[in-house]
Each structure stands twice: as structure tokens, then as C-alpha cells.
Structure 1
Amino acid sequence: MSRGNHRFVVLAVAMVGLVAVGYLAYTGFRLPSAPTLPPAPAAGAGKEVARPAPPGAFPMAVETARVQASELAVDATAVGSLRSNESVVLRPEIAGRIASINFKDGVAVSKGALLVALDNATQAAELDQAKAALALAQANQQRTQDLFAKKFVSGQALDNTQAALKVQEAALALAQARLDKTRIRAPFSGVLGIRNVSVGDYVKEGQELINIEDIGTLKVDFRLPESYLAQLSPGQPLEVSSDALPGQVFAAVLEAINPLVEASGRAISLRAQLSNSERKLRPGMFVRVRLIFDRRDKVLLIPEQALVPDSKAPYVYRVVDGQAQRVPIKTGLRRNAQVEVVEGLSAGDEIVTAGQLKLRDGAPVRSLGAGAPAAAPASDGKAAAAAGSGK
């Protein structure tokens, strides 16, 4: 055998040996598969095995409520601010030194009450001078008139004395007006604020002294979208409430409608009048306004959570003889978690309010709260027309 053939045989034998060793190693170290165990005998062999109950065999627990016929107000809500019926900051028309202050801060005053007096020595002297000049002019006029009657003076002389008399009368009125400007009085009955000056201060023309507010009647300023314009008219009733006085509602009346609609927000500015005889409210307060357009009786209302939306029409599940009955309905207005039912239900019907998402038409149900009345509609909900299906 040649040397080349001998080398080929050795390599072939070596390759066969390596393959054999690898196969033995693979089969020797491979984990044995788990033996297949026979199925365990069922409990109670020889007896019929119980099968699970089909779906719907047991009543599903749900919460329910009764459809109620209640009064529903068609209204709109907004936020507004309170303003004084009359409000002014008193300022002197002339400069001068304060001689006296005749009020206490925060007290009620009547119209015409003297509040601040300026030093009026100069004005009083001017008034006395004007009075003396007027007396002289009156005497001259009377004397000239007597002489004119005796034809001792001309008619021009009489005219001159009459003109001089009128000039002195005007001078007296001017001096009296200057003196009156040193006395600052209340222009109307109201409540004073907090003064910013003291006795002895020299004040300039137009300097702020004290504010006075008529708060016996308040104005309510608020705005509504222009879509309400056709429903607005002066004299409509309003309800006003404040977060500072929880639980209290104050009656007001719509007083004025601004003829100009704001172009920026497409809103209408409105003003109402509110009686504040007990002075519980103050100007500048934030308030919530409810404008009532109409009140409707015997409106069917259901809780909003009972409504199941659908592409065709919303529906609810009505409980009839222990079974859930799917009932399409037509809705109307919404009021703070309450929905008006226009068609589909009657007063006293029992409807599912919780658990209806797992129900189907005809499924047996067990009520956890059968006959529970629906929550009363809130009186301050927003007017949101939801007529038709699903709105």
C-alpha cells in the first residue's frame, strides 16, 4: 500500500471515531424525558361528573334606581362680580388745609352729612366782602330809581345801577360757592370706607379723601354667550350665590342688557340688581349667577351613569320581572349628573345604574338597591341642550 493511501485510511478511521464518540456523548448526557403518567381517576368514580353552569344561569348583582318625575328649570349659569349701587371717591375741588373730619371709618352716613371741612377763613372773608358790595349796589339802585321817577337822572344811569346790582349778586353767589367747596358732604346715603388723610393735612385739588358706597342695593355684572340673546329680557329672575356664604341663595332681577356683543369673546354683558338690606354681600365679591328661563313640571329624570351610549341611540336596562330589558331612549337636557328622558321610560320604572356593561337583553339580575330613588337634580347645573340621541 502506498504511503498516500495509508494516510487517507488513517484519516478516515479517525473521522469515524470522532463521530462515534460525539454520538455516544450526546446520547449519554441527554436528560431522559418525563414519563407520561396515566390520568388521575376522577373523584367519585362511577358517578356523573358535574359540568359548569352555562352563562346567565345565576342572576347578576346590579344597582338600580327608580325613574322620577320632577320639576326641571331651564337655565344658564355664569360667574360675575358685585358692584355698589352707587360708588364714589370724595375729592376736594379746591386746595386747602383740613380743619375737621366729622366721621369714623366704616360707618353709615346719610345724604348731605358733613364729612370733611377745609379751613375757610379766606372764603368767609370774600363772602362778607361780596355781601357788603351787594348791599351798596342795592342802595344805589334804589336811590337812582327814585331820582329817575322824579326825572332827575337819565334812563342810562338807572340801567347802570341795575347792571351793577346784578354784578354784585353774581359776586355774592361766587363767594358763597367758594365757601361751600370747603365743606365736603355725602352725595348719597351709604357706608364710608377708610380715610387717607388726617386733620391738619394740606390737600390738593382732586386728592383722594374717602370712598362712600351704597351697598343697600348691589349690581351683579356677568356675561353669557351670544347664543342666549334671544332668551334674554329685562325683569327675568336670577339666583346669586357666593362661595363666602355657602348654602345661601339671593334673589336678583335682570336689569340691563348691553346692546353691544363683545367681538373678542362673542359674549353679552348683563347687569342685574340685588337687594342687600342685611349687608351680607359686599362689592367686589365673586358670585355665581343662575339665570332661569323656564320651569317645567313632571320631567322624567334618571342618573347619568345609567345611560349606555350607542351609535344609533342611547339605551338603558330596565328591570322587569327580574330580567334586564334593553330600552332605547331619547334624552333631553342634562343637569349635574341627571338626564332628562323624553321617550322610552315612564315614571316609577326601575333601571340599572351600575353593572349594566356586563348585561345583555333578557339576562337575569338581582338588584342590590331596588327602588332606590334617583338623586334630585341640582339647581345650579349648566344649561346644556342634549336633545336627540346621545347628547
Structure 2
Amino acid sequence: MAYKKKYAATALAGLVLVSFAGWWFMNRQADKISGPAGATAAAGAASAAASGPTSGPVRPAAVEVARVATMTLIDETQATGSLRSRQGVVLRPEVGGRVRQILFEDGQRVRKGQLLVQLDDQLQQAQLAQARAELSIAQANHKRNQELVAQNFVSQRSVDETSAALEVAQAKLALADATLQRFKLLAPFDGVTGLRLVNVGDYLKDGTDIVNIEDMDALLVDFRLPERFQSRVRAGQQAQLNADALPGRPFTAVVQAVDPLIDANGRSVGVRGCIDNRTRQWRPGMFVRVNAVFGQRDNALVVPEEAIVPQAGRTFVVKVVAGEKPGELVSQRQAVRTGLRLPGKVEILEGLSADDTVVTAGHQRLQRDGSPVRVVDMGRSAAPAAGPASVAASSPAPLPSPVAQRPIADGPRKGGASAPARTAVPAGPNPCLRG
């Protein structure tokens, strides 16, 4: 037991001796490397710490900037919809009969009241002739009795009986004529016929489909918007339509009505618009993409989205303004209120004015207001700006207006290349404005 204690004490003493030798050796090597220069540097650092912060010029922070631009903004939202005819019916007979004549061609434009299909009506013609003959006899009998009652040759009862017989004969004639008219199928409105489904000689039962008629001068577009837009959409607003079937040919629809009922399933409101389709470029049943326009703001202020700095629930930008010294640029933090957001752009409602300059890159170098900045033009080599007038930033190009112009159609261009050419809209009142 004594031997184990002696061995442990010897090992501990040796470990302490080795640690001390290593510490002494490291300090000696450090003194050899530093020498007089190290001592001088240490003394200089101590002197600088004692004298306080340096009084030399502060190097300006390099930043990228952009100028606040004005442009026309369109307040809109997107939806999908489908087109339907303003008026469209499938022509069907009210009574059964055999087709005697078909007086239209497939895809023909027809007028209201035009005879399209004539069913065999020989029996009804005979019934009409019989009713006319009976009416003629009833009229003669009634006239004769009126003359005789004036001479007291017949009683008043005979006159009343012939008067009632005359009325019955007139009713039979009207019934025969109405039955005859049911064998004539007329166009209910101006429109274009589709593809007929019957031929001459076919026997049709009542309600058999014959042909569809579509009023294509004006088309209705039905689409739905989220319920949050129900207070912003109203009759008279415009909507831009685009279809995959007609790429690059937008059209403008005018909102005609808004459904007062909110769909409980999708929490959406139905909207119906109308487009002038006298050029016949659009067809019922087409799928369309709709940009519903709620308003337009001219001269709206926009900045690049990189200039926006959110902090503590508020939104800031960093302006570049003139400093106290000539040619000096300094930073200034400014709280703003944003509006619409576009791809790469943000609308500024409050806090900035036109031609203000804001920082788009380098915000982390500006820790406080009044920090000197150096504007860097990324298109050329970095160079300091001479003053606020030299802060160059390209203004954003105006957004294309979603209010569509008249449709265009492909036409020949000089030199043989094809180029879009405007399609003339037929003269006359807009069919969307008719009742």
C-alpha cells in the first residue's frame, strides 16, 4: 500500500514539471518572434486606445439605387370562364309531323320570323278551310236573323242563338289557324343556324331536336370571383379576355350584372360580362381567361421590390439624399405605405415623391441615417456619384394595359412577312348595349 502511494506522488510531480517546461518554452519562442516590432505595435495599440476613436474620413458605403418612377397601374384580378351566346335555342316542333321542306342551310344567318322548316300540313289546311266555311254560314245566318227580328218575323232568341253560333265558328277558325301555324317552324331571333339533324321526309315527334340557332353578335362570359371582391366589382367595369384558341388576340368585355347570391360551396360570386363579337372571332363554349379590372391609377409611384425593407410590422425604404458637404450623398430611412404588387415592382401610396432615389442593394451597410454612400452603377465600373443629380436609375417601362384594343388578324407585311393587322368592327350600335 505504501508503494502505491509513493508511485502516484512521483507521477503527479512529473506531470507538473512537464507542464511548466512546456509553458516556459512557448513564452520564450513568442518573445523571439515579436522582438522590438511587436513591442512597438503593442505600445501603439495601447496609445490609440487611450487617445479614443480615429478622426480620419469614413469610407462611403457602396450601394445600388433606383429612382422612383411613375406609371399607370391597373387594379385587376384573374379568373377563368366560358363563353355562351347571348341568345341560343334548339329548334324543336311542338306537334308531330313529317318534314316537307327545309328552308335553310347549315351555318346560315337567319332573321327573326324567317320560315326554317315546314311540316306536312295538308290535314290542317283542310280543317282551316272547313272552319272558314262554317264561319261564313254562321255570319250569314246571324245577319239574316238580325234583319228578320227587326220586322218581328223571328224572336230575339233566334238572334241570340245565331250570335253564339257565330262566335263558335270564329273560335274554330282561330283554333284551326293556330294548329296550322304550329307546323311552321320560324326563327325566334336573328342568329346563325348550326348543323341540322333532320332531313326532308323524316317523321318528327314533338320535342325532336332539329337545329340550334345562336345569336353570336354578342357573347356572354360567365366567371366567378372570390367573395372578397363582391364589393369591388360592379356593372360597367371592364374585363380582358384571352383564349388559347386565339393567342395574342385579347378582347374587352363589359360587366353587365353581378349575381346577388354568394355561392356557399365555393364562397364566390358570379359575374356576367358581354363582348361585341360582330367580327365572329369568338364562339360559344370557348374557354377564356379573364382579367377583371377594378380601376386604373395614372401616375402611380412604383419602386423595385428590392428597395422595400420590412421591420417590426412596418415598411421602410432607404432614400439617398444630398449631404451637408458639396457632392456628398447620405442615407435616410423613410417609412412608406405600399399598395399593389407587380412582378418586380411595388406601388408606394405614401412616403415618397416622384424622382426620389432609393437604395436597392447594400442596406446592410447603412446602420444609421446620415451614413455616407457611394452609388454603384452595375452596368459600368463602380464609381462614386458627384451629387443627387448624378444618381442614375432607369425608370420602369409602363405596364401593358389590360384594357384590350380591337382584335387583330394576321395580314401580309411588306417584304412577304406576315404581320398582325387590325380587323375592322362592323358599323352599327354595340349589340351588348341592346336590350
| CA–CA separation in structure 2 for the residues paired with 1:192 and 1:359 | 72
| Post-superposition CA distance 1:282-336 (Å, at most 9, x none) | 2222233334333333211123344344344334455567978474442422243
**Match of 2:95, as an amino acid?**
I
8 Å CA contact 2:83–2:287 kept in 1: the answer is yes
Moved more, 356-365 or 102-111: 356-365
| Post-superposition CA distance 1:207-264 (Å, at most 9, x none) | 1111111111122222223333333433334433334333434333322222222222
Q: State the structure with more CA Rg.
A: 1
Q: Which residue of 2 aligns with 1:6?
A: none
Deviation at 1:350, TM superposition (A): 4.1
Change (3 A) 1:117 1:322: farther
Q: Which residue of 2 aligns with 1:159?
A: 160
8 Å CA contact 1:324–1:360 kept in 2: the answer is no
8 Å CA contact 2:319–2:334 kept in 1: the answer is no
Moved more, 222-231 or 155-164: 222-231
Deviation at 1:191, TM superposition (A): 0.8
8 Å CA contact 1:59–1:366 kept in 2: the answer is no
Higher-RCO chain (CA-CA 8 Å, sequence separation at least 6) = 1
Change (3 A) 1:164 1:315: same
Q: Which residue of 2 aligns with 1:341?
A: 348
**Match of 2:197, as an amino acid?**
N
Q: Which residue of 2 aligns with 1:298?
A: 299
Deviation at 1:270, TM superposition (A): 2.0
Moved more, 305-314 or 84-93: 305-314
| CA–CA separation in structure 2 for the residues paired with 1:303 and 1:247 | 28
Q: Which residue of 1 aligns with 2:396?
A: 374
8 Å CA contact 2:337–2:351 kept in 1: the answer is no
8 Å CA contact 1:329–1:342 kept in 2: the answer is no
**Match of 1:374, as an amino acid?**
P
RMSD: 2.9
Fraction of identical pairs, as percent: 44
| CA–CA separation in structure 1 for the residues paired with 2:270 and 2:330 | 50
Deviation at 1:267, TM superposition (A): 2.0
TM-score, length-scaled by structure 1: 0.73
Q: Which residue of 2 aligns with 1:270?
A: 271
8 Å CA contact 2:336–2:352 kept in 1: the answer is no
8 Å CA contact 1:98–1:199 kept in 2: the answer is yes
| CA–CA separation in structure 1 for the residues paired with 2:295 and 2:60 | 47
Change (3 A) 1:349 1:247: farther
8 Å CA contact 2:79–2:289 kept in 1: the answer is yes
**Match of 1:295, as an amino acid?**
Q
8 Å CA contact 1:111–1:189 kept in 2: the answer is yes
8 Å CA contact 1:77–1:288 kept in 2: the answer is yes
| CA–CA separation in structure 2 for the residues paired with 1:322 and 1:238 | 49
| Post-superposition CA distance 1:129-166 (Å, at most 9, x none) | 11111111112212222222221111111111111111
Deviation at 1:176, TM superposition (A): 1.0
| CA–CA separation in structure 1 for the residues paired with 2:287 and 2:256 | 19
Moved more, 360-369 or 259-268: 360-369
Q: Look up the SS of the partner of 2:82 in the other structure.
A: strand
Change (3 A) 1:61 1:340: closer
Q: Which residue of 1 aligns with 2:179?
A: 178
| CA–CA separation in structure 1 for the residues paired with 2:113 and 2:66 | 64
| CA–CA separation in structure 1 for the residues paired with 2:121 and 2:328 | 93
Deviation at 1:57, TM superposition (A): 7.3
Q: Which residue of 1 aligns with 2:204?
A: 203
Alignment size in residue pairs = 325
| CA–CA separation in structure 1 for the residues paired with 2:168 and 2:193 | 40
- Say yes or no: does 1:227 pair with 2:233: no
| CA–CA separation in structure 1 for the residues paired with 2:399 and 2:311 | 24
8 Å CA contact 2:329–2:374 kept in 1: the answer is yes
Moved more, 280-289 or 210-219: 280-289
Moved more, 296-305 or 99-108: 296-305
Change (3 A) 1:375 1:169: same
8 Å CA contact 2:339–2:349 kept in 1: the answer is no
8 Å CA contact 1:67–1:300 kept in 2: the answer is yes
TM-score, length-scaled by structure 2: 0.67
Change (3 A) 1:347 1:206: same
Show the 5 A alignment for 1:118-157. 118-157=119-158
| CA–CA separation in structure 1 for the residues paired with 2:199 and 2:186 | 16
**Match of 2:87, as an amino acid?**
E
Change (3 A) 1:247 1:350: farther
Q: Which residue of 2 aligns with 1:14?
A: none
Q: Unmatched 5+ residue regions in structure 2?
A: 1-57, 322-326, 380-391, 404-435
Show the 5 A alignment for 1:79-94. 79-94=80-95
Deviation at 1:97, TM superposition (A): 1.0
